[in-house]
Amino acid sequence: MSPGTKIPIRTKAPKRFAVGLAVFYATVFSVTGTYLPFFTVWLKAIGIEAFWIAVIVAAPSITRFTILPFITAQAEQRHALRAALITTATLTALGFICLGLLRGPLAILVVFAITACAWTPLVPLTDGYALKAVARFGLNYGPLRLWGSTAFVVGALVSGVLADMIAPEHLIWVIAATAALGVFAAFGLQPLDAPGTRPAAPVRRVALLRNPTFLAIVVAAGLIQGSHAAYYTFGSIIWQNAGYGGKTIASLWVLGVLAEIVVFALSPRLTIAPSRMMLIGALCAVARWLITAQDPPLEILIVVQLLHGATFGLTQLGMMGLLVRHVPSHVIARAQGYFTACSGLAMSSAAMVSGALFARYGIAVYGLMAAMALSGAAVVLIWRRRLDAPPPSDQPHSSGVGG
């Protein structure tokens, strides 16, 4: 982020605080690292059809714009982010365990939807917890967040090895086991507020939704991140149909996340404006999905996967930088909830449409993803002057997000 007035740093971040947050980030994203590559493979292995797979996978995205904003708002109003993280991590682990006992598509949909109500708030609650630490202690978001991406890599590699060793119908237990680790890590999180801290004066929930700059941020980021829907839903199935084994599929996922990790690690040195980060991410996404739609050979696919560092990593950093710049710190978790709701709406809509298109047109579904990313780029360009404007004089910002 461009140099500017920084939030006053109250004290140096306790080492135990940073370590606990890094470990929890790792467990949260290790679940995603096992879920994304092989949850749909598990569904297919137990006989679930493509239509039902698309509907089931869309469930978390739907909860993001229904239940999730309520949970994040309540957790922040009550100054109970840590308690909310412990509760949601526990319910997530129990939900995945229950899924492993089911086989019918309707039963799986119902239980997974309930599980998603607890699972989907984990990332925005953790990001809100982290951004409060950015504001309070002057921490850098990128180096904290990279531990989540690193754990995603480890989770994907481990599940890839296991996918070649155990029957596909048992992959759900790998996901459940990693979710259980998150419960233990949640108890290691340190309280964010000092004892006796009084809540800030309440801010009307509707205030953020009436801010056009905030809406531009979440819509643009939602479209760009939502353009990953077909990749997250059918990427592994497409690669499996192309004849790639479990290790190759996992390695392709890992390549993308390794690029993401590099971006997060270098974020404190980046001098690119947050809006430009998002624009670069959007244009890279357009190129990525258009190339992927051509069913490229493995050599080209490897290079294309490295664009994930821009399509996800730069977009995420840009969005976080803009939120820290334009959103008061005491409602940052609520802002995270609204963003996740917006991206959830975009992701669920794209996932359900891509399910119908994939059944008929196959890999050409990536053309729709390119159009979504292009729309996100248009929003950034239209609102760029406002996005680049300095924060209000009564709202100092932190340079700790990167850029």
pLDDT at 31 exceeding the cut of 80: yes
Confidence grade of residue 13 (pLDDT, cut at 50, 70, 90): low
Give the Cα separation of 215 and 4 in Å (integer): 23
b/e 133-165 (16+ beta carbons within 10 angstroms → b): bbbbbbbbbbbbbbbbbbbbbbbbbbbbebbee
- Domain residue limits, the chain: 15-192+206-388
pLDDT digits (tens, 9 = 90+) for 121-162: 998 899 888 888 777 777 777 788 888 888 877 877 787 788
Contact 341, 68 (CB under 8 A): yes
pLDDT at 26 exceeding the cut of 80: yes
Contact 1, 402 (CB under 8 A): yes
Q: What's the pLDDT at 245?
A: 82
Give which of 47, 60, 177 is closest to 111, Cα–Cα.
60
Query: Does the 15-192+206-388 domain belong in CATH 1.20.1250.20?
Result: yes
Give whole-number Cα distances, 380 to 169, 193, 218, 392, in Å: 43, 35, 10, 20
Phi, psi angles (nearest 5°) of residue 137? -110, -5
DSSP 233-277: HHHHHHHHHTT--HHHHHHHHHHHHHHHHHHHHHGGG----HHHH
Contact 152, 32 (CB under 8 A): yes
Confidence grade of residue 203 (pLDDT, cut at 50, 70, 90): very low
Residue 209 CA, distance from chain mean position: 21
Tokens of 211: 């801010």
Q: What angle do CA 33, 376, 262 make, to 5 degrees?
A: 40
Residue type for position 385:
R
pLDDT at 42 exceeding the cut of 80: yes
pLDDT digits (tens, 9 = 90+) for 294-336: 989 999 999 999 999 999 999 999 998 898 888 877 788 888 8
Question: Which stretch of 46-60, 150-164, 241-255, 302-316 has the lowest confidence by average pLDDT?
Answer: 150-164
Residue 349 CA, distance from chain mean position: 17
Give the Cα separation of 57 and 40 in Å (integer): 8
